[in-house]
Structure 1
Amino acid sequence: MTVNYRLGAMGFLAATGLDEETKDGVSGNFGMQDQQAALRWVRANIGRFGGDPGRVTIAGESAGGRSVCTQLASPTAKDLFRAGIVQSGAYGYCAARTHKDAVSQGAAFMEKLGCASPACLRGKSAKEILAAQAGFDWGPVTGGDFLPVQPFEAFEQGAAARVPVLNGANQDEGRLFAFSQFDNDGTPLTAEQYPAVMRAAFGERALERYPLSAYPSPTIAYATAQGDARFACPALRLDDVLAAHGQVYAYEFADRTSPPFASLRNLNTDFDFGATHVNEVQYLFKHFGLHTPLNAEQRILARQMVQYWGSFIRDGVPRAAGQPPLPNGREAVLSLRTTSRGGNNVSTTVHSEHQCSLWTAPPSQ
């Protein structure tokens, strides 16, 4: 099942006046608390639908994966689930906003609406709220009972939920975002622009690690750095810290022949998206309710992935008939590929392939 929860300002506004109305004195976590309310409903009612309240798995991709990451670290989520699936959700090391920063952002948002207090906001229409919330960083807040410390700090301390976790990212996460930034507007990144763009975004060392000569285009070179920094290396770091205190199963979706997901297929472009962000979802679900044009090999990979995910949800261990097991997150992942591209195999080189010695920062940073 899926659940609805509040987003944007309605789900994550933090303000001094709102702090006083919360149980733990820290506002800004309303959307995440909606998720926990839904999980409590599931625990109370799942038996009526033939389910087992002791075998609930939470799963999400991208922002949904970030939600799972946050719920794993939340003490108030204790006993609401017995396993978690994080797909491309460890970006930014699952970091939440500090209470100070969240309240500062809340004050700027209220000023934009001409309000001096949350009471004033209650007189604004939903249309006004939605128009004003653009450009702000909405997300969970640390400091209260819901999230006392940053998720990675909780993971390192062994203070997070000790449940099995299936975690991973896609090989070419950054290509979607780089395409949106450059090529989608008809302005592909050029070789002349590349050094300055890389230095501005990632620094001189990144420019040295990602020489333009090693990639088919400047956009893909930039996308590789972006994907490694934002998604791949944080996911691998999450594997490492979770494995120190519990069971984690690590994967990387690496089908570079995968068709672009639904909203990209109608674009008039020959851009090579590879195994980019979101592309694995259509191997597990009917994405957006639409048919995905998988070829015969991709359909086989899709069935294998459904078996891995399905068995993890069923009994906490991902398995697929005739396929290798997923590693436990210590220096290795299961690379998911079609047969002609090597098939599913355990990779011990993912950290070096994604330049993680450059990108993996301590979770406190």
Structure 2
Amino acid sequence: MSRYVITIDAGTTNTRVHLFDQDFALIASASRPVGVRNTAIDGNSEKLRAAVRDCVRELLEGAALTGAQLQCVLASGMITSNVGLYELPHVAAPAGVDELAAGAKSVLLEDVCPTPIWFIPGVKNFTTPVDTGNFERMDMMRGEEAECLPLIESHRGELPLLLVLPGSHTKFVGVGADGRISACVTSITGELLDVITKNTIIADAVGHGFVTAQSYDRDMVLLGRRTAERVGLGRACFAGRILSQFTQNDAEKIANFILGAVLQNDAAALLGSSALRAGRDATVVVTGKEPLRQAIADVLRDTGAFAQVREERPSDGAPLAALGARMVAQRLGLL
């Protein structure tokens, strides 16, 4: 009898569930615009539980399967946080597939899934107490560690690595010569860009819109980066309004300028963070969709501080988080 695998990736605002066959070929996907943000707001996990339950049911019914035909169900992301469905402690770096497998736990949530779910833990930078002397070195992630595993495997010949995972919270992940995650750094650049674009006086200058793959303008992005490096983010953003008023009445170009100004924050984080200081000589691999992937790569190259910056285009097959979950499952002997 064929056996199937379900992976669950639940984040802050979205839940994504995927169904794979025994060869890990993607059969179908389901998603809901629900995440741990809803749990934090409501004070309970009912919406998240319902989102996961409905996605699992949708996939099983759509493929005419029963729970008995599932070989395993794997979950990563914020679903393992205190506002998720089952809290797991972070694994401390350095951490790779062995450490993640050792920290994983199987839990039966009968109102969510007909078979036990294997929850995969997140990673934090260290275990010692955090104080005002070392807090900047501390960081953590839930979900990105699973995304990192297949990236590490595909770039094993280029270790050490610095992986860049863009998003509302962009993660910068150091990978040592041993192929394990050594540390991570988080920025809220995506959220800052959203606020500036929609809820400040700059919104008019950018036409309340973001840069698209078609409107990407490298020169304007780098002009924004260099301006922010010189005068800071606040002044650079207002300089975008000055450009729109006096020299460049083109909302798409100003949006590119603002994107570069905001992404300079990421460059500064990488250059200034004590957690990833050793990663400057590593091969930088930037993932994600255009134009953010291209913009981050161009900004990091423009600093001149990184030896090699490469772009990793998303594949059309299984998502990185699912591929990473599969690697953990294989280490556990589930597949």
Kindly indicate which of the two structures has a greater share of residues assigned to strand.
2
**TM-score normalised according to structure 1 size:** 0.27
**TM-score normalised according to structure 2 size:** 0.28
